[in-house]
């Protein structure tokens, strides 16, 4: 076998890339996002709007999610949209808004990068750089974020096998950046009543195969606002190291993904419920 | 719209068959299996071997699962196997063994029926009749169990949409039998690291659309013994009314599905863990 | 390896059941349906309505398809419908109509059986017995038709792998009936613009792995009347031994599947086009 | 409805982006690749190695495919590989080799671009720029090639719906570049006996919805060298405007995708067979 691969645990059926393999590293990786650690006993919640829209929207949403217990703020400045006619994000103005809200609230920020030419810019603002589902196999982008010294949130492609997901992470580690969080966000199946099919079995599978932390995105995973709480609870029960969820101060007015965004009250209630689940699996949400 | 269908909740995108629709019935259906109620606040655990193999195997396994807190015993006498050369089950001898173990332990029994010609026989032994995944769209069989006055455990086809699943249940209710439990057991997707992809979002979706109870089978859903506990916990957290799991007193010697069967110690530990999750979602496992 | 399995050709990745395996039999199987041979150099077209509705409908449609060059008449008497409220077929009356039209036109008939209890009845009327997609893994039914001495048309389940399809056929051969035709009819995928995704690669794959003839159903495979001709042509080009297509004398009035049924003119034109393709692959349509 | 969308033909079930919509343009688009027209009555064959490896390899392969009737040479210089440890292509050296072989043979060349930063470079060498499956939703890259004045070969994502495929093409047209060819190359399904499932129904569907030419890649679509000819024939029969196929002068020594590459003799034989199919559907291969 190639020395760049290892066997992994019995019966997995495919080789594991050497740098992400759990066998490669006795201790689990802790990813540190401006002081917030993911991969330890705390379940870390990342929340915020799909897209940054305005100072007011971002500030109100950020205050809400912080009060509810979120530790990191999410918000898109560059948005990958299926249609060229949909809102494409505020670009650098969005990054500046995120930066000012970080200063205001103290929440570290995670935001997506879509283009190798934007990596330097996004890196200069973000505390964690997100590579989205559609770019999970954008290898030049993976290499570029691998050369950054910033944590990377890598979302599973909607069509990616577990093996391909690990290989994508390996591209990042292979450039010297080991601060990678994997995110299950739903895969595409024949079922159409939900936007995607959230594959929660990916969490224990990945935790067994790699030393990297694994979080879950129940917002994209279901595409249905009312269903997010149930799947968020399941994600904590199944062993996720964190959650990333869309919250909007006024979901019905959101420029993007309002149908899957929680409102402030729903988020606050959910956080209370999640803390109970976390304790039941011997973890905690601070 | 056809009077046999109703709109269901907003934004579901397909009509709901009239008899299974939640709108059709103000109260949720409680299914009563020889005194054990499914669909109330208790989360009911059904456990036992994939196939009935011998008196010793069944008795030892039954004692274990009862001691751990299972309320109903599962065990296959007629087995649907992909290959004609695999063990096909003990047939009526298996039913007799189940019956004697019920007498011994007091546990109600659920077992599968595959053939319209066997329904009367299986009905004469079982406390609940199972229709397996491969028969979810076997309409003559659905009609036949619909004419029984016994609870029916209907498993989702591995390729069935939520709508088709509800329509299959409607076939049973339409014959006058409303004692139906729906079971999510994993769907087929491109991912091959697990046997199926357990679709836990089906639980809140079904609970919203129908008044019937919904349980989860993490054994078939994952196909991996070590992964069953994590998904069982997630199933309780997501809102399932029960679980059905494969347990074998000696998994390595099982004639069928040993790779996904818990051993007695694993089952006992899992039940302890599940009780904590149940409490965290305001339910209980008796 | 189990003596009931053989290795099959290099690199297939799964064992082939022994009785269906191409290696098991030096000559390809010719299936003889009341004098019409499938599996030889002729490409055999089976056509007719989804469901038998009336003497007039069946007779008009049968005359048309015979004139166009179809060699076998299809028509459903027992219909597997997703909803219990949809038309379920005429039952034995439908079989009688098929029988009288056979007498009139000389076309052998193929019709579906859904229930082990109906096999004897259907066998007494049909020249070939169809096992539909939803019953591909209905093992008691497979065994029962395996005990008949009539050709069987076995349709691939909509989520069945090639291996499972071969194993289902093995159930029939294992009962002593080797007169089995395999039918690719579309698999379920994420794509929703067509009813199913017609997997034409299944044809050369099956032809390589088994000695049984392989035909294609472009009507169910696409679910779109206008698309049937293009896929029918592709099926002949890819090497299918035959086609089964839905034709209705008045598609807009059909009780079932009118949206995917050709009208007489479309069928007649298509047959002309198919003959040209058949010649281009060194076969013929008589 | 948004003025950027139009209804498309009856019963398609989703809106069609305005610039790619067939309704938007009375005439079908002809794409002109350095004098070779795709989208007219000729079926155009593009062939060559997966990756450019050496002058000898490229030259020998190019001569073979030209002699067989291929009109355009393919060859990858920048290769998207699942693993960071696989051969990643020769980069600009590969582009230079392609350029010198073009000078030698007169064949226009198509090669893939993966990174926005490489578009200018690739554009300076290629006659047609390929956007691969994994980048079908890489929107910055789509915009960048949309700003070029070179034909673009856009491959369908392995889990992209027809609607998403059209929206991806719309990104290119929306930047002013209408010279786009769509390529069906297999989608990901549960079936694992082939590398992908070639969705030939996509060809008539796309031809109905858009004015752009549609070609098929049976090499990636099947992943099996012996199966390529059958599916190539089916693709011509179903109405494709062209084919793109992997050919290697020594497939067993290929650095990439040798298992799905035809050797020179297989390619030459296939071209002869394809010409017969083309004639049978009133087209031609020059």
Q: Chain C: give the shortest CA distance to residue D78, in Å.
A: 29
Q: Which chain A residues are within 8 Å of D140, Cβ to Cβ?
A: 114-115, 117-118
Considering the domain boundaries, does residue B286 fall inside one?
Answer: no
Count of C-beta atoms within a 10 Å radius of residue D191: 23
Q: Residues D42-57: what's their mean pLDDT?
A: 97
Q: Which residue from A minimizes the CA distance to D190?
A: A189
Instruction: Please identify among residues 222-251 of chain D the ones whose CB lies closer than 8 Å to any CB of chain C.
Output: 222, 224, 226-227, 230-231, 233-239
Q: What is the pLDDT of residues C138-172, one digit of tens each?
A: 999 999 999 999 999 999 999 999 999 999 999 99
Q: Which chain B residues are within 8 Å of D192, Cβ to Cβ?
A: 192
Q: How far apart are CA D179 and CA D128, in angstroms?
A: 9
Q: Chain B: give the shortest CA distance to residue C72, in Å.
A: 26
| CA separation, residue B245 to residues B45, C62, C169 (Å) | 8, 52, 30
pLDDT surpassing 50 at residue D239:
yes
pLDDT surpassing 70 at residue C11:
no
Beta bridge partners of C216: C184, C243
Considering the domain boundaries, does residue A13 fall inside one?
Answer: yes
Q: What is the pLDDT of residues C236-273, one digit of tens each?
A: 999 999 999 999 999 999 998 889 999 999 999 999 99
Query: Across the B/C interface, how many CB contacts are shorter than 8 Å?
Result: 73
Residue D112 dihedral angles phi and psi, to the nearest 5°: -90, 145
The CA-based angle A153-D136-D260, given to 5 degrees, is: 105
Q: Residues D237-245: what's their mean pLDDT?
A: 98
Considering the domain boundaries, does residue D125 fall inside one?
Answer: yes
| pLDDT at residue C182, as a whole number | 98
Rounded to 10 degrees, the C-alpha dihedral B96/B97/B98/B99 comes to 50
Q: How far apart are CA A185 and CA A163, in angstroms?
A: 16
Q: Chain C: give the shortest CA distance to residue A189, in Å.
A: 5
Q: Which residue from B minimizes the CA distance to D196?
A: B190
Q: What is the average pLDDT value for chain B, to the nearest integer?
A: 95
DSSP structural state of residue D137: T
Q: What is the CA radius of gyration of chain A?
A: 18
Subunits in contact with chain C (3 or more CB pairs closer than 8 Å): A, B, D
pLDDT surpassing 90 at residue B37:
yes
Q: Which residue from D minimizes the CA distance to C207?
A: D227
Considering the domain boundaries, does residue B114 fall inside one?
Answer: yes
Report the residue from C139, C159, C164 with minimal CB separation from B114.
Answer: C139
* Contact between residue B45 and residue B243 where contact means Cβ atoms under 8 Å apart: yes
Considering the domain boundaries, does residue D17 fall inside one?
Answer: no
Q: Chain A: give the shortest CA distance to residue C215, in Å.
A: 25
pLDDT surpassing 90 at residue C204:
yes
Q: Do B238 and A239 touch (CB under 8 A)?
A: no
Q: Residues B103-124: what's their mean pLDDT?
A: 98
Q: Which chain C residues are within 8 Å of A192, Cβ to Cβ?
A: 192
pLDDT band (50, 70, 90) for residue D268:
very high
Q: Which of A4-13, A228-237, B24-33, C35-44 bottoms out in mean pLDDT, i.e. has the lowest?
A: A4-13
Determine whether C282 is exposed, middle or buried from the number of CB atoms within 10 Å of its CB (0-12, 13-18, 19+): exposed
Q: Which residue from D minimizes the CA distance to B196?
A: D190
Number of alpha carbons in the 13 Å side-chain half-sphere of residue B7: 3
pLDDT surpassing 50 at residue A205:
yes
pLDDT band (50, 70, 90) for residue D1:
very low
CB within 8 Å of D31: residues ≥ 6 apart: D37, D38, D39, D128, D151, D179, D180, D181, D212, D213
Q: Do A114 and D139 touch (CB under 8 A)?
A: yes
pLDDT band (50, 70, 90) for residue B1:
very low
Q: Chain B: give the shortest CA distance to residue C83, in Å.
A: 6
Q: Do D237 and C239 touch (CB under 8 A)?
A: no
pLDDT more than 90, % of chain D: 92
Tokens at A105, concatenated: 């609230």
Q: Which chain B residues are within 8 Å of A11, Cβ to Cβ?
A: 259
Q: Residues B159-181: what's their mean pLDDT?
A: 97
- B5 or B161: which leads in pLDDT: B161
Q: Residues A133-156: what's their mean pLDDT?
A: 97
Instruction: Find the helix or strand (DSSP H, E) in which D235 lies.
Output: helix D228-238
Q: Which residue from C minimizes the CA distance to B144?
A: C115
Considering the domain boundaries, does residue A285 fall inside one?
Answer: no
DSSP structural state of residue B282: T
Q: Which of A246, A218, A225 is nearest to A75 (CA)?
A: A246
* A190, A191, A193, A199, best to mutate vs chain C, most C CBs in 10 Å: A190
- Name the domain count of chain B: 1
Q: Do D189 and B190 touch (CB under 8 A)?
A: yes
pLDDT more than 70, % of chain B: 97
DSSP structural state of residue B40: S
pLDDT surpassing 50 at residue A114:
yes
Considering the domain boundaries, does residue C163 fall inside one?
Answer: yes
* 3 state DSSP class of C180: strand
Q: Do B80 and C17 touch (CB under 8 A)?
A: no
Q: Chain D: give the shortest CA distance to residue A234, in Å.
A: 25
Q: Which chain C residues are within 8 Å of D193, Cβ to Cβ?
A: 12-14, 161-163, 205
Q: Chain B: give the shortest CA distance to residue A235, in Å.
A: 7
Q: Do C4 and B83 touch (CB under 8 A)?
A: yes
Q: How far apart are CA A242 and CA C86, in angstroms?
A: 47
pLDDT band (50, 70, 90) for residue D205:
very high
Beta bridge partners of C21: C210
Q: How far apart are CA C8 and CA C15, in angstroms?
A: 6
Q: How far apart are CA C257 and CA A232, in angstroms?
A: 41
* B76, B83, B136, B175, best to mutate vs chain C, most C CBs in 10 Å: B83
pLDDT band (50, 70, 90) for residue B14:
confident
* 3 state DSSP class of C59: helix
Considering the domain boundaries, does residue A286 fall inside one?
Answer: no
Helix H segments across C84-227?
92-105, 119-125, 139-146, 162-173, 202-209, 218-222
Count of C-beta atoms within a 10 Å radius of residue C263: 17
Q: Which residue from C minimizes the CA distance to B134?
A: C137
If you search the block for the tokens 């279901």, which residue do you land on?
A222
Conformational region of residue C208, where left means phi above 0, alpha means psi within -120 to 50, and beta covers everything else: alpha
Q: Which chain A residues are within 8 Å of B10, Cβ to Cβ?
A: none
Report the residue from A161, A197, A204 with minimal CB separation from B230.
Answer: A204
Instruction: Please identify among residues 152-211 of chain C the ones whose CB lies closer than 8 Å to any CB of chain A.
Output: 159, 188-190, 192
Q: Chain B: give the shortest CA distance to residue C120, in Å.
A: 14
Report the residue from C5, C82, C116 with minimal CB separation from B117.
Answer: C116
Q: Which chain B residues are within 8 Å of A217, Cβ to Cβ?
A: none
* C186, C187, C190, C196, best to mutate vs chain A, most A CBs in 10 Å: C190
Q: What is the pLDDT of residues B143-164, one digit of tens each?
A: 999 999 999 999 999 999 999 9
Q: Do D235 and C239 touch (CB under 8 A)?
A: no
Asked casually if ipTM beats, i.e. exceeds, 0.90, the reply is yes
Count of residues in chain A: 286
Q: Residues D5-12: what's their mean pLDDT?
A: 68
Q: Chain A: give the shortest CA distance to residue B59, in Å.
A: 30
Q: Do A158 and D159 touch (CB under 8 A)?
A: yes
Strands (E), D174-241: 180-184, 214-216
Q: Chain D: give the shortest CA distance to residue C54, in Å.
A: 29
Q: How far apart are CA C118 and CA B120, in angstroms?
A: 17
* 3 state DSSP class of A214: strand
What is the domain-level CATH number for residue C193?
3.20.20.70
pLDDT band (50, 70, 90) for residue C5:
confident
pLDDT band (50, 70, 90) for residue A90:
very high
Q: Which chain A residues are within 8 Å of C192, Cβ to Cβ?
A: 192
CB of A92 within 8 Å of a chain D CB? The answer is no
CB of A279 within 8 Å of a chain B CB? The answer is yes
Secondary structure in 3-state letters for B69-119: CCCEEECECCCCCCCCCCCCCCCHHHHHHHHHHHHHHCCCEEEECCCHHHH
Instruction: Find the helix or strand (DSSP H, E) in which B66 lies.
Output: helix B55-68
* Contact between residue B218 and residue A187 where contact means Cβ atoms under 8 Å apart: no
Q: What is the pLDDT of residues C63-72, one digit of tens each?
A: 999 999 999 9
Q: How far apart are CA D105 and CA C98, in angstroms?
A: 62
pLDDT surpassing 60 at residue A206:
yes
Q: Which residue from A minimizes the CA distance to B195?
A: A201
Q: Which chain C residues are within 8 Å of B83, Cβ to Cβ?
A: 4, 17, 167, 170
| pLDDT at residue C1, as a whole number | 47
| CA separation, residue A98 to residues A69, B112, C256 (Å) | 18, 57, 57
Q: What is the pLDDT of residues D9-28, one digit of tens each?
A: 656 778 899 999 998 898 99
pLDDT surpassing 80 at residue B35:
yes
* Contact between residue B228 and residue B219 where contact means Cβ atoms under 8 Å apart: yes
pLDDT band (50, 70, 90) for residue A14:
confident
* C193, C207, C224, best to mutate vs chain D, most D CBs in 10 Å: C193
| pLDDT at residue A213, as a whole number | 98
Q: What is the extent of the structural domain holding A196?
A: 5-280
pLDDT surpassing 60 at residue A131:
yes
| pLDDT at residue B67, as a whole number | 97
Q: Do A192 and C192 touch (CB under 8 A)?
A: yes
Q: Chain C: give the shortest CA distance to residue D126, in Å.
A: 32
Q: What is the average pLDDT value for chain A, to the nearest integer?
A: 95
Q: Which chain C residues are within 8 Å of D280, Cβ to Cβ?
A: 276-277, 279-280
């Amino acid at each position: 076998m190639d020395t760049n691969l290892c066997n992994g645990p019995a019966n997995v059926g495919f080789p594991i890339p050497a740098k992400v393999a759990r066998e490669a590293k006795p201790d689990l990786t802790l990813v540190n996002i401006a002081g917030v650690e993911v991969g330890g006993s705390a379940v870390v919640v990342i929340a915020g709007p799909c897209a940054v829209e305005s100072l007011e929207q971002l500030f109100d949403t950020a205050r809400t999610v912080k009060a509810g217990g979120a530790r990191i703020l999410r918000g898109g400045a560059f948005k990958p949209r299926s249609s060229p006619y949909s809102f494409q994000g505020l670009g650098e103005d969005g990054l500046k808004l995120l930066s000012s809200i970080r200063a205001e609230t103290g929440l570290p920020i995670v935001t997506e990068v879509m283009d190798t030419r934007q990596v330097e810019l996004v890196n200069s603002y973000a505390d964690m750089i997100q590579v989205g589902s559609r770019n999970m196999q954008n290898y030049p982008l993976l290499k570029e974020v691998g050369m950054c010294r910033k944590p990377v949130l890598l979302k599973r492609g909607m069509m990616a096998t577990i093996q391909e997901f690990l290989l994508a992470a390996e591209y990042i580690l292979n450039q010297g950046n080991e601060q990678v969080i994997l995110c299950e966000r739903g895969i595409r199946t024949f079922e159409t009543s939900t936007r995607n099919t959230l594959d929660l079995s990916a969490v224990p599978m990945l935790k067994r195969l790699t030393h990297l932390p694994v979080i879950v995105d129940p917002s994209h995973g279901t595409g249905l606002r009312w269903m997010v709480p149930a799947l968020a609870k399941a994600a904590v029960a199944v062993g996720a190291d964190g959650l990333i969820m869309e919250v909007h101060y006024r979901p019905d007015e959101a420029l993007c993904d309002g149908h899957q965004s929680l409102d402030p009250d729903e988020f606050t209630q959910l956080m209370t419920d999640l803390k109970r689940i976390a304790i039941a699996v011997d973890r905690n949400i601070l």
